[in-house]
Chain A
Amino acid sequence: MAKKKAKLTDEVEKRLDEIFIEGDGTVDEENEPLETQVSPLRELQSVILSLDWEISDEVMSHFLDEVAKLKNNYNGNRIMAPFFKMLDSLGRYIKKYKAKTNPEAIKVLNSVYSALEKILSSDGLKEIEKETILLEEVQRFKDLKREIQGQKGVVEEKVKPGKPAAPLVEGRDVTIDWEEGQRMPEPIVAALNELKELIQAEFKALREEIQGLADELKAPKRKSGRKGKK
């Protein structure tokens, strides 16, 4: 019996070797693990990678803590500080609205992070190049801010009366006050919710239908003696 089993296993393995001829990048088990590069963004990158549909308070708090730590480390750096301000604002917004977050917010967060990483990891970048990267991200951030504020129209800038808005590159105006009534207009929220409910209902029905079909296929055919009530 054992001999037979071995025979089958051998045959299967042989066939698999023929189909999946190696050179597939199989890890050499004796190799040492890759060396870890120490990056100041290491922890932040890890949290960002873990952001998906399951955005939780725990993950977002971790994210905000990490941003606060980095913000503190780069305090006074006119290029870096705005990046952390944007990440902080985005983080607070996503934490607050979770599943109701504007889908663009995650994209902008990733984009801001990538730009930040690029600046930090490229030693050869000139100051003007860094500023250009920052400006692009600030623009993206502002576009998102405008989109979220939507039809409300007027952007309630947090600038003191009589004082002109500070240039964004200096990072003084990259905060979104998500707490103070800058929400999507009610009709849009209602329409979105309606659409969401419709999609959820559709998927639920589809899943039930598939389940039913699968059950039907699996169940042995029975006599259809029962008649429906009239």
Chain B
Amino acid sequence: MAFVNLKKKEVQVKIVYYGPGRGGKTTNLEYIYNKFNDRIKTEMIAIKTQGDRTLFFDFLPFEMGKIKGYDVKIQLYTVPGQVKYNATRRLVLRGVDGVVFVADSMKVRRKSNMLSVKNLQENLSTYKKSIFKIPLVLQYNKRDLAGDGIPLLSYETMEKDLNSRLKVPSFEASALKGDNVVKTLKKIITLTMAALEKEFK
């Protein structure tokens, strides 16, 4: 749950980018950091292995300024996508307020996407959170690969695989090129803030 300091009138919102390995979670954050660094004035922390894979998590905090009299601070995290790091993934999910699920559009990654959603559901349930209730946005990443002739899953297939029960907002995107990266971020922040307001009422 978001950290609220009534005395300081401060709200910290935690948003986690989740999804299968090499799906583009870190690339989302890197795009935001590189593109808007002059405005968000912050540092991105990334702990990577030699092969450029996320080992623990990436962390990108920024301030949104005052909203309804409260200083709103957003913290973006990614989880390591590799199957073996489930303990770290679960740990990063602790206290999460909103989730962006970054799915890989490549046909060969279809199964990984579905397993990762299932894994998200399981890990959320350890904190007594439901995947059907938490603010969630799906991002179908790597759409730019269509230009390279890579076989991709169609939007409809991805919706059927991942969103038929969740029925949450979804975007086709290219984290590498920045297509819909910001749109995804704006959506999850808006949904999360609305959910938090409802929760604190």
List residues of chain A with CB under 8 Å of any chain B CB.
4-5, 8-9, 11-13, 15-17, 19-22, 24-27, 33-39, 42-43, 45-47, 49-50, 52-54, 59, 62, 103, 203, 207, 210-211, 214, 218
Contact = CB atoms under 8 A, between A and B. Distances in A.
Contacts of B147: 34-37
Given A5-B194, A9-B194, A53-B21, A38 B149 contact: yes
B184 to A, nearest CB: 10
Contacts of B148: 37, 45
Contact of B180 (A26, A50, A218): A26
A19 B106 contact: no
13 contacts: A25-B177, A25-B181, A27-B180, A35-B147, A36-B147, A37-B148, A47-B108, A49-B106, A59-B108, A207-B88, A214-B91, A214-B94, A218-B94
A39 B68 contact: no
A25 B179 contact: yes
B198 A5 contact: yes
A8 B67 contact: yes
B178 A25 contact: yes
A116 B112 CA distance: 29
A15 B182 contact: no
B36 A20 contact: yes
Contacts of A39: 149
Contacts of B144: 34
Interface residues on B, range: 35 or more
Contacts of A38: 149
Contacts of B109: 50
Nearest to A52: B22
Contacts of B53: 52-53
B100 to A, nearest CB: 14
Given A33-B146, A49-B106, A27 B151 contact: no
B146 A26 contact: no
Contacts of B72: 15
B189 interface: yes
A210 B91 contact: yes
A79 B26 CA distance: 39
B130 interface: no
Q: Which of A17, A46, A210, A218 has the most CB of B within 10 A?
A: A46
